[in-house]
Amino acid sequence: MKTRITELFGIEHPIVQGGMHCVGLAPLAAAVSNAGGLGMITALTLPTAEALAQEIRRCREMTDKPFGVNLTFLPSVKQPDYPGYVRAIIEGGVNAVETAGNNPERVLPALQAAGVKVIHKCTSIRHALKAESIGCDAVSVDGFECGGHPGEDDIPNFILLPRAAQSLKIPFIASGGMADGRSLVAALALGADGVNMGTRFLVTEEAPVHQNVKDAIVRASELDTRLVLRPLRNTERVLNNAAVERLMEKERVLGGAIQFSDIAPEVAGVYPKVMYEGQMDAGAWSCGMVAGLIDDIPTAGDLVRRIMQEANSIIRERLGELVAEEEFA
């Protein structure tokens, strides 16, 4: 299946593994890339630029296929060593970067001079158009269904993707609600050039997280996520748990007066406790509504193969049945 995304990144299938904190490490990224998709190492999971360089080298030992690095730009008192991370990416020979968060314009010249293709995550058409205007090679269009930060516009992918197709000249992939062959075919029909999957790849054998995390998502339905941090205009979709219930009660009581310090116990530094130790109620952690479509824990390779088989079957059989042959005469 060739699309503008497979051509841009030199991959076999139009399937990208999204960046995920404490999840996007070499074992998962390499497994996705070996299956013909585009795996992603999450830079900010690594504490230093040198640690990222080591993880890139580790991934290179696991795959000879293209893989990328997610680089998220976050406002913070103590800024990460972004120049160091960019150097590690370039010196490591990485050919794809997924940027997210704040405007990536300041890092584009160095990355693109080194031949790195940049795809920027966007939750709105205005942000996607801005990414296109500053020279990003592609964008990931994240609908309201997505895990993590869906933005503040609340536009689902059935509207957002056709709007992107109307508005953009550069290729884009669909993120949010993507899990199987149906997702891929639907995304392509709505104008996307591929799909980005986070939560679905989190529930694979190679994802380096505690079994409790994977089991929780398998048990969950599409009704089990919640939106938090909305009063702070940093909305995040998370899987419901005891910590999330506490957080939402604080938001209800404090309303517009809430400060980050009020909810820090539920969100600050919780990911290692959840992802690595399996403490499922330690805090709020990102999960997409797509949890309702996840009921097994395959290898990343089996998942990619299954998605492509399903997609091709749908295109040949289901859609073929709906269009009479004479329509093409």
Task: From 34, 69, 316, select the one nearest 185 (Cα to Cα).
Answer: 316
Whether 319 shows a pLDDT value over 90: the answer reads no
Residue 305 structure tokens: 């193969």
d(CA 200, CA 83): 31
pLDDT score for 75: 75
Answer yes or no: is 29 within a domain. yes
Answer yes or no: is 8 within a domain. yes
Exposure string (b/e) for 196-221, b if CB count within 10 Å is 16 or more? bbbbbbbbbebbebbeebbebbeebe
Residue 237 structure tokens: 């979709």
Answer yes or no: is 289 within a domain. no
Beta bridge partners of 67: 39
- Distance separating the N- and C-terminal Cα atoms of the chain: 24
pLDDT score for 325: 59
Pairwise pLDDT comparison (223 vs 321), residue with the higher score: 223
pLDDT score for 56: 98
Q: Hey, what's the torsion of the CAs at 83, 88, 93, 94, to 10 degrees?
A: -80
Q: Hey, what's the torsion of the CAs at 313, 316, 320, 321, to 10 degrees?
A: -40
pLDDT tens per residue across span 95-123: 999 999 999 999 999 999 999 999 999 99
Domain that holds residue 136: 4-208
Answer yes or no: is 249 within a domain. no
pLDDT score for 69: 98
Whether 127 shows a pLDDT value over 70: the answer reads yes
Q: What is the DSSP letter of 102?
A: S
Whether 327 shows a pLDDT value over 90: the answer reads no
Pairwise pLDDT comparison (318 vs 45), residue with the higher score: 45
pLDDT score for 77: 67
Task: From 240, 242, 203, 241, select the one nearest 225 (Cα to Cα).
Answer: 240
pLDDT score for 221: 98
Answer yes or no: is 125 within a domain. yes
* Verdict on whether the full-model pTM lies above 0.75: yes
Q: How much is the average pLDDT of 176-190?
A: 98
Residue 215 structure tokens: 């089991």
pLDDT score for 60: 98
- Sign of the CA dihedral with 300 first, then 59, 192, and 119 last: positive
CA 65 to chain CA centroid, nearest Å? 19
Q: How many domains does the chain have?
A: 1
Answer yes or no: is 19 within a domain. yes
Task: From 141, 66, 75, select the one nearest 97 (Cα to Cα).
Answer: 66
The residue behind tokens 């400060």 is: 259
pLDDT tens per residue across span 241-290: 999 999 999 999 999 899 999 999 999 999 999 999 999 999 999 999 99
pLDDT score for 326: 55
pLDDT score for 283: 97
- Residue 252 burial (10 A CB sphere; 0-12, 13-18, 19+): exposed
User: What is the β-pairing status of strands 236-239 and 225-228?
Assistant: antiparallel
Answer yes or no: is 157 within a domain. yes
pLDDT score for 281: 97
Contact by Cβ (8 Å): 228, 236: yes
Contact by Cβ (8 Å): 1, 14: yes
Pairwise pLDDT comparison (154 vs 320), residue with the higher score: 154
Question: Percent of the chain scored above 70 by pLDDT?
Answer: 98
Q: How much is the average pLDDT of 226-251?
A: 96
d(CA 27, CA 206): 6
pLDDT score for 263: 95
* DSSP line for 127-152: HHHHHHHTT-SEEEEE-TT-SB---S
Indicate which CATH number applies to the domain containing 90: 3.20.20.70
Answer yes or no: is 169 within a domain. yes
